Amino acid sequence: MSAFDTVVMVDWSGGNDTGPRPRQDAIWACIARGGRSETPVYLRNRAEAEVWLSTLFEAEAGANRRVLAGFDLPFGYPEGFAEQITGQADPLALWDWLEDRIEDAPRSNNRFDVAARINRQFGGRGPFWFNGLQRDIDGLPRRRENYHNPFAEWRKAERETSGTSSCWQLGGVGSVGSQTLMGLPVLARLRRRFGAAAWPFEPVDKPLVLVEIWPSLTLGAAPKDMIKDAWQVSEVARSVSALETDTLNAILAVPRTPEGWIFGIGHEAVLQAAAGLPPCLNNDCFALPPGVTWTPVNDALALLKERLRPVTSTLRLPVGQAAGHILASDVEAPRASPPLPNTAVDGYGFAGARGPGLHRLPALGGRAAAGDAPGIVPEGHAVRILTGAALPQGVDTVVLQEDVTLHEGQIAFRGPIKPGANTRQAGEDVAAGDVALPKGTRVGPAELALLAAVGAAEVAVHAPLRVAVLSTGTELIEAGQPAPPDRIYDANRPMLLEIIRRLGHQPVDLGQVADARDAVAARFDAAARQADVLITSGGASAGDEDHVSALLTAAGAMTLWRIAVKPGRPLALGVWSGMPVFGLPGNPVAAMVCALVFAGPAMALLAGAEWPEPQGFQVPAAFSKHKKPGRTEYLRARIRRGRAEVFASEGSGRISGLSWADGLVELPHEAVEVTPGTPVHYIPFGSFGL
């Protein structure tokens, strides 16, 4: 566990507003928790960035979460500078000094004038240089000719690394001078407002700690289809959030130099090794289009399908241990299957076709059996050959043993026989290098056979999806315990844990919790530490005791999905510390139907598998029903004598009907009139993956 709950990394910029379209050399920020980063956020100017950061810090403080915030700008200048400017030994006095003087607007700022004013204090030829404006500014050299810097060119931290830029240079390739002048005033305000500690000047025991980062310390070039700044903040945030507390503390334990320090110097390898999990889901991943009140089932499913992606890490496993895992990448066949042409039958092999009529061929002594190295058969001869044997050189056709008579060393049979008859071509099933199995496939018995046949030794798979199950409700009591009549037994949890297991995921039992906000929040935190997904039942609506939805809403990460479905009250879909949460209704029938119809396919995507479409079929109804339009209905059903029967009661408290049924009849969103014999859509429980 990291000492910080949340890590945010920011790539700062000294320039003007960069416009609405995400681009390089703008401000980028990325949040990460527990080794997983969210999607990087594009911030077009500093004012927007300051608002975004303030909102984040406020929310994290509200949730009692510690934050480590990194910025890619020097927190200090070479020795002596700050003191000469402010008259104070405290390097943070310079942050406030700059904050008093820097004027910032999206399209203009006074950084060159402030730099020139400082330069004039030292004779007007340095320490700052470079002027990005048309007009000349007294005291600010445009180039380094005639430049004079009364201070060191580099800080100690920069002398220990290579490739950093000088804080004195205000523009040009890779310069950081401007973003420092334009960044420190913002940091000064954030520090004051949130009581943050600025590292390494202050002890890091505050809920918010600001650190100086330099992504190139550990990162190489960005992947070619990604914006470099976005990629860098995401990678740094992810790896830092994955660090163990001890490692992080070791990195933060540096002398309190007034020049500031770069996070991670001397610990590069640890930082690089720390990355490795896929990015997690954003808080808004379950947002619904505005204005929609009752979302049709198919729209809800389409949204889940579009928004969710794998959240588990990947690992390599020997094929023998891969059963039950989901492939994380395509498996290419290391060799062809079959590797050599061979015979599909027992018989006699020779070269070429034979026309109609009787044919005789001399048979060689001996035989070719499966596992024999292919020999040679001379033109015009035949050899006895057994199923699976590689075709000897000079054999491409096999005649069935039953169709042959053998007499005095000669075989006789009747044509016609086609060329290649009764043989298998090399690679006719899978050619070497072909994709034998695509990523997203769950490895079952058939896949094990195929992987073995093509000679795969190891495969990349997803770690199992860990799904926590939590029952909420003060009325609940553990099954099997003595219970007063005003309590009800927790029926959902055993059901959901078993559904998860049958769907191939790893159930994590989080027990049950009373309807109390803090207790539910504590279980959510526990789930986020132990699992990749949380499924709750109960408390998902918008009532007084509906704490699942209340908590997720307070965390700013929930959407109440009012899905037009029966049975099923609203689903609370949200994200808690990067972990997706499915808040199912408490009613066991609704909980099971919603788990199968919505949570099941969603979990498949989160686990790295393909989106499953439960296959149903049309069967004549054995019942009558008048269904109104405007929602999809699922009826507990089973097939008897070729017809779909439905459970006598549609009451969603009738758990017995779930067991009575073998599947569900799905009645469409539109109105339908069912009478005995009307075809209805029946989906067996097995088609949902049970």
Choose the stretch contacting ligand AMP; rule: CB under 6 A; options: 95-103, 238-246, 472-480, 634-642.
472-480
Closest CB to ligand AMP belongs to which residue?
A: 586
Strands 405-407 and 314-318: unpaired
Site for ligand AMP in 319-378 (CB under 6 A): none
- Angle of helix 111-121 relative to helix 177-194, nearest 10 degrees, comes to 100
Query: 586 and 539 in contact (C-beta within 8 Å)?
Result: yes
Closer of 452 and 488 to ligand AMP (Cβ): 488
Query: Given candidates 37, 342, 471, 549, which one binds ligand AMP under the rule CB under 6 A?
Result: 471
Helix (H) or strand (E) holding 27: strand 27-33
Locate all alpha helices (DSSP H) within 546-664, ordered by sequence. Answer: 547-554, 588-594, 600-607, 655-660
Q: Which amino acid is at 524?
A: F
- Residue 598 has, within 13 A of its CA and on its CB side, a CA count of 36
Locate all alpha helices (DSSP H) within 122-261, ordered by sequence. Answer: 156-159, 177-194, 228-241, 245-252
- In the bound complex, what is the minimum distance in angstroms from residue 541's beta carbon to ligand AMP? 6
Choose the stretch contacting ligand AMP; rule: CB under 6 A; options: 44-52, 131-139, 279-287, 469-477.
469-477
Query: Given candidates 587, 601, 608, 646, which one binds ligand AMP under the rule CB under 6 A?
Result: 587
Q: Which amino acid is at 441?
A: T
| Residue 23, C-beta contacts closer than 8 angstroms, at least 6 positions apart | 42, 227
Closer of 184 and 590 to ligand AMP (Cβ): 590
Closer of 260 and 588 to ligand AMP (Cβ): 588
Choose the stretch contacting ligand AMP; rule: CB under 6 A; options: 123-131, 180-188, 473-481, 616-624.
473-481
Identify what 119 binds: ligand AMP, Mg ion, none; CB under 5 to 8 Å per kind: none
- In the bound complex, what is the minimum distance in angstroms from residue 513's beta carbon to ligand AMP? 11
- Interface with ligand AMP (CB under 6 A), residue total 18
Query: 594 and 545 in contact (C-beta within 8 Å)?
Result: no
- In the bound complex, what is the minimum distance in angstroms from residue 523's beta carbon to ligand AMP? 14
3-class DSSP assignment, residue 602? helix
Helix (H) or strand (E) holding 581: strand 579-584
The verdict on 585 binding ligand AMP (CB under 6 A) reads yes
Identify what 7 binds: ligand AMP, Mg ion, none; CB under 5 to 8 Å per kind: none
C-alpha radius of gyration, the chain, whole number:
35
Query: 437 and 331 in contact (C-beta within 8 Å)?
Result: yes
The verdict on 105 binding ligand AMP (CB under 6 A) reads no
Choose the stretch contacting Mg ion; rule: CB under 5 A; options: 118-126, 317-325, 472-480, 567-575.
472-480
Query: Given candidates 264, 507, 588, 608, which one binds ligand AMP under the rule CB under 6 A?
Result: 588
The verdict on 310 binding Mg ion (CB under 5 A) reads no
Identify what 491 binds: Mg ion, ligand AMP, none; CB under 5 to 8 Å per kind: ligand AMP
- In the bound complex, what is the minimum distance in angstroms from residue 539's beta carbon to ligand AMP? 5
Query: Given candidates 234, 537, 577, 632, which one binds ligand AMP under the rule CB under 6 A?
Result: 537
The verdict on 568 binding ligand AMP (CB under 6 A) reads no
**Residue 139, Ramachandran bin (φ over 0: left; ψ between -120 and 50: alpha; else beta):** left
Query: Given candidates 126, 473, 585, 608, which one binds Mg ion under the rule CB under 5 A?
Result: 473
Q: What span, in angstroms and rounded, lies between the C-alpha atoms of 458 and 464?
A: 17
Q: What span, in angstroms and rounded, lies between the C-alpha atoms of 204 and 195?
A: 11
- Interface with Mg ion (CB under 5 A), residue total 4
Q: Which amino acid is at 301?
A: L
The verdict on 488 binding ligand AMP (CB under 6 A) reads yes
Interface characters, 428-467, with ligand AMP (x: CB under 6 A) = ----------------------------------------
| Residue 497, C-beta contacts closer than 8 angstroms, at least 6 positions apart | 469, 507, 509
Interface characters, 505-544, with Mg ion (x: CB under 5 A) = ---------------------------------xx-----
The verdict on 476 binding ligand AMP (CB under 6 A) reads yes
Query: Given candidates 34, 568, 586, 614, which one binds ligand AMP under the rule CB under 6 A?
Result: 586
The verdict on 475 binding ligand AMP (CB under 6 A) reads yes
- In the bound complex, what is the minimum distance in angstroms from residue 522's beta carbon to ligand AMP? 18
Q: What span, in angstroms and rounded, lies between the C-alpha atoms of 242 and 67?
A: 14
Q: What span, in angstroms and rounded, lies between the C-alpha atoms of 523 and 263?
A: 34
Burial of 173 (0-12, 13-18, 19+ CB in 10 A): exposed
- Angle of helix 46-62 relative to helix 177-194, nearest 10 degrees, comes to 30
Identify what 70 binds: ligand AMP, Mg ion, none; CB under 5 to 8 Å per kind: none
Q: What span, in angstroms and rounded, lies between the C-alpha atoms of 581 and 59?
A: 19
The verdict on 549 binding ligand AMP (CB under 6 A) reads no
Closer of 104 and 475 to ligand AMP (Cβ): 475
Choose the stretch contacting Mg ion; rule: CB under 5 A; options: 26-34, 70-78, 583-591, 681-689.
583-591
Please work out, in degrees rounded to the nearest 5, the angle formed at the alpha carbon of residue 223 by the alpha carbons of 221 and 226. Answer: 110
Q: What span, in angstroms and rounded, lies between the C-alpha atoms of 153 and 156?
A: 10
Closer of 449 and 514 to ligand AMP (Cβ): 514
What tokens appear for 367 in the block? 């035989």
**Residue 269, Ramachandran bin (φ over 0: left; ψ between -120 and 50: alpha; else beta):** alpha
Query: Given candidates 183, 260, 392, 473, which one binds ligand AMP under the rule CB under 6 A?
Result: 473
- In the bound complex, what is the minimum distance in angstroms from residue 599's beta carbon to ligand AMP? 15
What tokens appear for 365 in the block? 């002594």
The verdict on 658 binding ligand AMP (CB under 6 A) reads no
Choose the stretch contacting ligand AMP; rule: CB under 6 A; options: 137-145, 168-176, 522-530, 531-539.
531-539
Q: What span, in angstroms and rounded, lies between the C-alpha atoms of 458 and 548?
A: 42
Burial of 373 (0-12, 13-18, 19+ CB in 10 A): exposed
Query: Given candidates 139, 538, 567, 608, which one binds ligand AMP under the rule CB under 6 A?
Result: 538
- In the bound complex, what is the minimum distance in angstroms from residue 436's beta carbon to ligand AMP? 43
Position of tokens 């026989």?
A: 417
Closer of 55 and 474 to Mg ion (Cβ): 474
**Residue 35, Ramachandran bin (φ over 0: left; ψ between -120 and 50: alpha; else beta):** left
Identify what 568 binds: ligand AMP, Mg ion, none; CB under 5 to 8 Å per kind: none
- In the bound complex, what is the minimum distance in angstroms from residue 249's beta carbon to Mg ion? 42
**523 alpha-carbon distance from chain centroid:** 23
Locate all alpha helices (DSSP H) within 9-78, ordered by sequence. Answer: 46-62
Identify what 490 binds: ligand AMP, Mg ion, none; CB under 5 to 8 Å per kind: ligand AMP
Contact positions toward Mg ion, by CB under 5 A?
Answer: 473, 538-539, 586
Interface ranges with ligand AMP (CB under 6 A): 471, 473, 475-476, 488, 490-493, 537-541, 585-588
